[in-house]
A and B are shown apart, each in its own frame.
Chain A
């Protein structure tokens, strides 16, 4: 080895030969070449966070067509493009989400379409206030859409298809009783009743396909096993529940959308306390749906907003609202979990992005890299005050903002009073119960 070596740079390594090439980029990531790295990365994280808020445009479009309010929407379990919706004038429509146009229109019922379920083989079951269950062929190219009609004894409130492998002919309905039907028979296979109340919603567990859950008008939630004669468990809450959804990734979790502005997630193994409480709505929550990833859930509420919550976390991640969207009656995630749909009172179904700042379309490698880098930076500095402040910033309608402020003062004063009561009474006199436990009034077998 020579004892003197001099740095000699070849300029061709640093210049491009023709105009069609990219300029060569050489990176030096050693410590000496990057002084003040932490500070500069922090600045980049701040910029990335601000850009995220700038790019947060979640509204994609509206599916217009219904002449009356949309009461229920259901997505096709295996086709990403297909969405079915039922409205308050008895009409059901099949939509193509990419073109946002109706592909099929059927006048199904005389009054409200209360329940709608779609099976993998394109069969639809609808139930309505006119005491009828109707089975339809959802295929676009079939001549006669109606397959069968079953007449019941009382107005139906909801229905759900049994997710058994081979057959798509078994479904469950709720009215003043919960009934399990086979489409080929005119009488239900099973009938359950616990007390003399009406049943609001019924949903099958997508993983454990024999389990079903209903909400009852006596403020309780009942669990069923389809193979058994009697209902399994009953869980009483403070107020009535309006919607149910099972977590598609974790079979033991289900969420109920309650009248007291909260959503309660329960673990069926321990119904004595809530697994998680999702707080943020300012009016009754009407519908809830879990994302196919099992990590997020969307809730539609009477306060004209749609909120996205994360599994296990009790505050919402996002709040979607639009001046034209009135009371939201139903919501659903799309099959790839990238979009969510909500049907509201003025007859429109709206399509939103789940990740508000995501870039749609095909991204080239450099774009993907730069987006990944931004996400990593935001994650790294997420706890710093400035970054967190920007990340939390959302515009809310004035009514909702004021309502939330009011609720905060109410809740904090309640807490303060409880703490004082506990502090100034004989130790052991006041029973200490966690909030999660307080949710459940009683459980029965």
Chain B
């Protein structure tokens, strides 16, 4: 962006002469690269492409296999080139991200509103509703808003155009509501069972297996609906095939009220009253991992979009940020009260609410960040906090109804049209749904490391040796390093040949030893056989 700005400034400079002839041939840029020109535009930084690199470390494997080494080198080089090109392509992105740049200052909504344009101000609105504390959820493309009041009122509106799509009453107590794969289906956890409704309000399914649900969570790439129960059961339903694939009783003390998911690997985090967070995947009977986060009751948790950080808050008014790869606590922050709602935005802003205050933290994992970057006072205690995907908007559901506030720097500006498109037509929505179904990640792949499929199997040699040990009773010594020879005799192929010779010789030796042992055993057996029969012989013989 800096170079773009510099280029535009350069055009307005007086030193450039206006073109006199219309059909002048474009000058050869190589000729005109004089010193002055270079200084004016400044040096263009080479694209680093770091944010597009998938593997943070280069694949490095110590191997004497020349071909494999060459292949790894080309793989690393290709990845670097691709990430640099991807960085250069960023110039094609149509929308820029928002930000609140000053550090050390607490912004207020009034300041933000003073800078906002008409279109942005339309996104900030509030609805006064009176059917109980409201649960506000956005769908995956950020276009539709689902409002579910505890007394049974359900409404779905398109919050760009403020047009209501459907509104109906469920006539029962609602504990949680959530959008499924897109705005076509929504799941509402009612008093007894969970129901799935259409975007017109028609009841499609009644899921009797998930009963007395407290909270629900949806994993978009696996098409899994995870729900936690009043009887402490965690269950997963695959909504593409409609089957309950997992139902286990969580044996931690206390009721289950805190659930959040890690978007990068599909693992569900559950918070308990013992202050622990357990990580669950439908592939194991027990939790995958357990973290002791707080000394007292855990009241909320949220995992960041990139899967690196988890924010937890407990009754003892502390907010802790955990690194999910090293399992260590990065910082502890003191809040006036325990944060009842915690939510990470797409670009890393953390929203925390306690009493009737909503705070936004920027880069909370840093030690230097001691205060939030924005504070907002709501009329009544918020029940849900949810960032609108792809917008700089935070939706707050409370007893009063619903209100959305501006949160600059929260939303990802450029959605991938192949996945989530806020401006999608009916046909595009249907095609996206089909494509997502075709690419549905199978349940077996949910594990702590999502990139396990692409990793090199580096302990293959050890596994082979173990198997050989079982089969033949002999394990070759792989640590033999042949003497370094010079004068053209130190080639890798020759070295490998010598190594394999040594291994073969060792194997032959082992075979010889084995044969001798067996022959000895035969003799011993023969003698024993005689002795065994000896007792049946007559004493004279």
Chain B residue with the shortest CB-CB distance to A47: B438
Q: Which of B98, B265, B452 contacts A6 (CB 8 A)?
A: B98
Cβ contact within 8 Å between B450 and A10: no
For residue A6, which residues in chain B have a CB less than 8 angstroms away from its CB?
98, 112, 115-117, 120, 392, 406, 408
Question: DSSP class of B's interface residues: helix, strand, loop or mixed?
Answer: loop
Q: How far is the CA of A424 from the CA of B515 in the complex (A)?
A: 9
Cβ of A444 under 8 Å from chain B? no
0/1 interface trace, chain B 98-110, chain A, CB 8 Å (1 if under): 1111100001000
Cβ contact within 8 Å between A9 and B453: no
How near does chain B come to A152, taking the closest CB pair, in angstroms? 52
0/1 interface trace, chain B 13-36, chain A, CB 8 Å (1 if under): 000000000000000000000000
Interface residues on B, range: 35 or more
Most chain A beta-carbon neighbours within 10 Å: one of B112, B346, B418: B418
How near does chain A come to B181, taking the closest CB pair, in angstroms? 15
For residue B453, which residues in chain A have a CB less than 8 angstroms away from its CB?
38-39, 42, 381, 384
Cβ of B266 under 8 Å from chain A? yes
Q: How many A-B residue pairs have CB under 8 A?
A: 147
How near does chain B come to A276, taking the closest CB pair, in angstroms? 18
Q: Which of A1, A27, A34, A39 contacts B417 (CB 8 A)?
A: A27
Cβ contact within 8 Å between A423 and B413: no
Cβ of B93 under 8 Å from chain A? yes
0/1 interface trace, chain A 315-353, chain B, CB 8 Å (1 if under): 000000000000000000000000000000000000000
Cβ contact within 8 Å between A9 and B441: no
Chain B residue with the shortest CB-CB distance to A44: B439
0/1 interface trace, chain A 25-48, chain B, CB 8 Å (1 if under): 111111111111111101110010
Cβ contact within 8 Å between A27 and B107: no
How near does chain A come to B514, taking the closest CB pair, in angstroms? 10
Cβ contact within 8 Å between B419 and A33: yes
Cβ contact within 8 Å between A1 and B51: no
Cβ contact within 8 Å between B408 and A5: yes
How near does chain B come to A81, taking the closest CB pair, in angstroms? 40
Q: How far is the CA of A247 from the CA of B293 in the complex (A)?
A: 69
How near does chain A come to B507, taking the closest CB pair, in angstroms? 9
For residue B445, which residues in chain A have a CB less than 8 angstroms away from its CB?
36, 39, 42
With A4-B408, A6-B406 already in contact, the answer to whether A36 and B441 are too (CB < 8 A) is yes
Cβ contact within 8 Å between B454 and A38: yes
Instruction: Give B441-498 interface residues, CB cut-off 8 Å to A.
Output: 441-442, 445, 450-454
Q: Report the stretch among B126-134, B169-177, B421-429 that lies at the interface.
A: B421-429
Instruction: Give B397-431 interface residues, CB cut-off 8 Å to A.
Output: 406, 408-409, 411-419, 421-423, 425, 428
Cβ of B94 under 8 Å from chain A? yes
Instruction: Give B369-385 interface residues, CB cut-off 8 Å to A.
Output: none
A-B contact pairs, 8 of them (CB 8 A): A3-B101, A7-B97, A25-B418, A27-B418, A28-B416, A35-B307, A37-B54, A39-B441
| Given A9-B95, A28-B414, 12 additional A-B pairs, CB 8 A | A2-B101, A4-B101, A5-B115, A7-B391, A8-B120, A9-B390, A11-B423, A32-B305, A35-B264, A36-B266, A36-B450, A427-B508
Residues of B within 8 A of A (CB): 51-54, 86, 92-102, 107, 111-112, 115-117, 119-120, 221, 263-266, 305-307, 346, 390-392, 406, 408-409, 411-419, 421-423, 425, 428, 438-442, 445, 450-454, 508, 511, 515
Residues of A within 8 A of B (CB): 1-11, 13-15, 23-40, 42-44, 47, 381, 384, 423-424, 427
In the A-B complex, list the 10 residue pairs whose CB atoms are closest, starting with the nearest.
A7-B98, A13-B94, A14-B423, A28-B416, A39-B441, A7-B392, A25-B417, A3-B101, A40-B439, A6-B98
